[in-house]
Structure 1
Amino acid sequence: MFSRKWALSAAMTYSAMLIAVICGGTTVWAAEDQAKDDVVKVQAEGEGLDQDQAIRAALRAALEKGGKQEIFSDTKVENYQLIHDTIISRAQGLVKNYKIVKGPDRVIGGTVKVWIEADVSKSVLAQSWGEVQNLLNQIGRPKILVWINERIDGRLEEGSALESQIEERLLKSGFDLVARKAVEAIRQKEMDDAAAEDNMPKLQAIAKDFEAHFFIAGTANANQAGVEEKYNVPISFYNCDVQVKGFYTDTGKLIASKSIPNTRGGARGYKEFSPQAGKMAIVNVSQPLVDALYEQMMEQWATAISAGGELILEVEGFNFAAANRLKRALDEIKKVEHVNMNFSKGLATYRINAKLGADELAELLCEDDFEKMLEIVDLKLNRIQAKGK
């Protein structure tokens, strides 16, 4: 009798173990299948001035392909284009595994082309989409002030063709712009002088007044270089040079810089002096610059909202002791790498190097001991303003 009970008990124990093993194995297999379903293997190609640019272009194309069916399919989502372009700009950080399967090859026009095979994680894309969408819900769409001084044969033009090109590219991606017409006449003169003198602090102050998150400033010049016939068509040629820079308004940090040295461009015309031909010459030679400037700014914007960078925290109403206590507390935050503090007449300004965005830092400052020390009154892309308690 004892042996039968023991045998029955042993059989039941064995059965339970077998079920546990099977179920456990099913869990492991399910997890493995889920992981496999998450990763999409895609092939993509990219072209650029060198191998590095070509690889970056290929990674962006791979990310686009990998998320096309599920992540990027709902085009009716608010701020879709801005979210989409932001995520694509983070391709180097989001595509963790890739290999070059062909190239680099030099192609027609002197550019370099590569072909890659990459692993794209749909869950990583979905998480990134949520992060960007959440940030835009908090701070709204970034606003940009664009101001280009354009001179044709030394004469300052009222409207800039290059400025319009840049604005058109930014609007296409969903950024808000400060319209030139919205800047009153007296400020227009200040902006013209500041741009001509490369006076970035002055431009920064004006951009702050218009609550712009970024500002882009530069110069474009076109000087006549004679008329020539090409295929029996008269062309007015102009020598063009362009210099454009982009900055964070709050910190004044340079985030993009592109230039075109003296380059010959032309447009149809019969006269050497032809302002319209001069403008068209600038447009014709500037398209690669506009694309490259946009790419640089998008990469910086995408990095700032994901991996962080320099943040500014301004707190009014502190004495020095309170300001110093807050500095020590900020230094203790896990993702904060370094904090510099300036203190003057009750205003404490902290420059914080951190691997988190302003929105995430603001959330932390509303918790625990921080909540007892200060109250947040304004939140921007890279700046938090608060008052001491």
Structure 2
Amino acid sequence: MMPVSRCALLVMILPLVMVTAQTTQVLTAKGVGIDHSAALDDAKRNAIEQGLGVFLSARTVASNFTLLSDNIITRAEGFVKAYKVISEAQTVDGGWEVTIEAAVTAMLDEILNDQAAIDILIQVMGRPRIMFLVNEQIEFSWFDRNSGLVETMLMQAFFDRNFNLVDREQLAAIRHNDMTRLAQQGNAEAAQNLGRMFKAECVVAGKASAVQNSNAYGMASIRGDLNVKVIRVDNGELLGVVHVSSTKAQPSPEAAARAAFEAAAEKAAQQIIAHLIRKWGGEAANFKPISLQINNVDFMRATDIEVWLKAHVPGVKTVSPRPFEGNVAEMEIGFEGTANELARALAGNTVYPVTVVNVTQNKIVLLSK
């Protein structure tokens, strides 16, 4: 039976007719890969490159579907909003060849106004779970400091756009502990630890504060400030920083504070979503960084593995080694695909046998045999 891709279930409900001609091009592109999913991903990348004028300087596909190429000469943001498979076939050496008709948008920001495109992107990225940790600092004794108004507003905005969230009720046990406070103060390691605890892929952590301005004409004026960081859990990557303010005047300080917080949360949600869409869209269109950790390996073997990865593993575009220490090699892999796909390729190789210890969306831990 034909393998099912990450997005195949969406094809039937997202026909190409939904896309307007003003913002997209419908292109035909072919892709090859070691399996059906990899070939489909390659076809979508080729459609994006074709539509946006992105060229590879030296692309060669060998009989075992090893892809050797120089860096992309011109980089551009793009995204396949919808596609349909025209033909698909398994090749004589076990790989796959897939041809698709794809609607490609040239402006990634347009996705922010297209929920169907956001839904596809979320699926492509593996429906990452997002966790919110926002502390409210209010200088007024009458305001409920545990209301969670800002956090609730942010989560509602993300829920409305079909993002996958960690339920706020699950966080009650850690709401006021030291690690949570550190994360809210901007400590990435604390945010990562909490994210792992609740199986989240991204953490949005920070503080909201309400400051009373001078009253005028019987109205209370309150400024609401919101500062958050967006942190990728498995590798600690900073995906975005958001700072917004909003001032509101109401008959009572409480009403003004709530209005200011609501307005600030609405602005922040839009900016956080934009950060994620740009980051994830860029990774879907080009290649994503995957952290690779190899345990029980000496320096020379680690160096050999670096060379082998780029030369012989399909989809590997870049290999950037990190400092070597204590028989542990770390490197960042630029890979056209998911961490699971890369882990399968590494686990199945016989040149440098390894055991896969752990796989998350953006990190792989291996044990060299």
CA distance in 2 between counterparts of 1:314 and 1:198 reads 25
Q: For 1:66-96, what per-residue CA distance to the aligned partner results, in whole angstroms no more than 9, with x for missing partners?
A: 89xxxxxxxxxxxxxxxxxxx9xxx998963
In structure 2, which of residues 291, 296, 311 is the aligned counterpart of residue 312 of structure 1? 291
User: Any conservation in 2 of the 1:306–1:356 contact (CA below 8 Å)?
Assistant: no
Task: Report deviation, 1:364.
Answer: 2.7
Report SS of the residue matched to 1:250: coil
Q: For 1:74-121, what per-residue CA distance to the aligned partner results, in whole angstroms no more than 9, with x for missing partners?
A: xxxxxxxxxxxxx9xxx9989639xxxxxxxxxxxxxxxxxxxxx998
Which residue number corresponds to residue 222 of structure 2? 238
Task: Report deviation, 1:324.
Answer: 3.2
Which residue number corresponds to residue 56 of structure 1? none
Which residue number corresponds to residue 200 of structure 2? 212
Q: 1:375 to 1:160 in 2, by over 3 A?
A: same
How many residue pairs get matched?
A: 276
Which stretches in structure 1 are left out of the alignment for 5+ residues? 1-36, 44-61, 68-86, 98-118
Q: 1:347 aligned to 2:335?
A: no
User: Any conservation in 2 of the 1:340–1:350 contact (CA below 8 Å)?
Assistant: yes
Q: 1:294 to 1:157 in 2, by over 3 A?
A: same
Which stretches in structure 2 are left out of the alignment for 5+ residues? 1-15, 28-43, 54-79, 84-100, 105-115
User: Any conservation in 2 of the 1:148–1:195 contact (CA below 8 Å)?
Assistant: no
Which residue number corresponds to residue 364 of structure 1? 345
User: Any conservation in 1 of the 2:302–2:329 contact (CA below 8 Å)?
Assistant: yes
Which residue number corresponds to residue 29 of structure 1? none
CA distance in 1 between counterparts of 2:120 and 2:81 reads 20
Q: 1:301 aligned to 2:280?
A: yes
Amino acid across the alignment from 1:338: V
User: Counting helix residues as a fraction of each chain, which structure ranks higher?
Assistant: 1
Report SS of the residue matched to 1:212: coil
Higher relative contact order (CA 8 A, sep 6+): 2
User: Any conservation in 1 of the 2:292–2:330 contact (CA below 8 Å)?
Assistant: yes
CA distance in 2 between counterparts of 1:175 and 1:148 reads 18
Which residue number corresponds to residue 360 of structure 2? 380
Q: 1:205 to 1:93 in 2, by over 3 A?
A: farther
Identity %: 20
Q: For 1:148-206, what per-residue CA distance to the aligned partner results, in whole angstroms no more than 9, with x for missing partners?
A: 11112277822432221221222233333223432354563224421453222222222
Q: For 1:211-264, what per-residue CA distance to the aligned partner results, in whole angstroms no more than 9, with x for missing partners?
A: 2111111221111224445xxxx6432022221221211221121222125x42
| Larger Cα-atom Rg | 1
Which residue number corresponds to residue 199 of structure 1? 187
Q: What RMSD, in angstroms, separates the aligned Cα atoms of the two structures?
A: 4.0
Q: 1:92 to 1:298 in 2, by over 3 A?
A: farther
CA distance in 2 between counterparts of 1:135 and 1:167 reads 16
Report 1:1-389 matches (<5 A).
42-43=21-22, 62-63=23-24, 96=52, 122=83, 123-125=101-103, 136=123, 140-153=126-139, 157-183=145-171, 185-186=173-174, 188-228=176-216, 235-261=219-245, 263-266=246-249, 268-270=250-252, 272=253, 274=254, 276-332=255-311, 333=313, 335-369=316-350, 372-389=352-369
CA distance in 1 between counterparts of 2:121 and 2:247 reads 46
Q: 1:121 to 1:242 in 2, by over 3 A?
A: closer
Report SS of the residue matched to 1:381: coil
Amino acid across the alignment from 1:152: I
Which residue number corresponds to residue 74 of structure 1? none
Q: 1:331 to 1:188 in 2, by over 3 A?
A: farther
- Greater shift, 175-184 or 209-218, is seen at 175-184
CA distance in 2 between counterparts of 1:314 and 1:187 reads 32
CA distance in 2 between counterparts of 1:286 and 1:94 reads 39
Amino acid across the alignment from 1:124: A
Q: For 1:112-146, what per-residue CA distance to the aligned partner results, in whole angstroms no more than 9, with x for missing partners?
A: xxxxxxx99852249xx9xx979959x85211111
Report SS of the residue matched to 2:137: strand
